[in-house]
Structure 1
Amino acid sequence: MACSENDCGNEAAVRLHIPWDEDREVCTAHARVLAQQDGVVAEPLEGVDWR
Structure 2
Amino acid sequence: MTRCEEADCEAEAAVELHIPWDANRVVCPAHARVWAQKDGVVSHPLEGQEDEWP
Unaligned stretches of 5+ in structure 2? none
Over the residues paired in the alignment, what is the CA RMSD in angstroms? 1.2
Q: Which stretches of structure 1, 4 residues or more, deviate above 4 A after TM superposition?
A: none
**Bigger fraction of residues in helix:** 2
Following the alignment from structure 1 to structure 2, what is the Cα–Cα distance between the partners of residues 50 and 7? 21
TM-score using structure 2 length: 0.88
Unaligned stretches of 5+ in structure 1? none
Aligned length: 51
TM-score using structure 1 length: 0.93
Following superposition, the deviation at residue 47 of structure 1 comes to 1.4
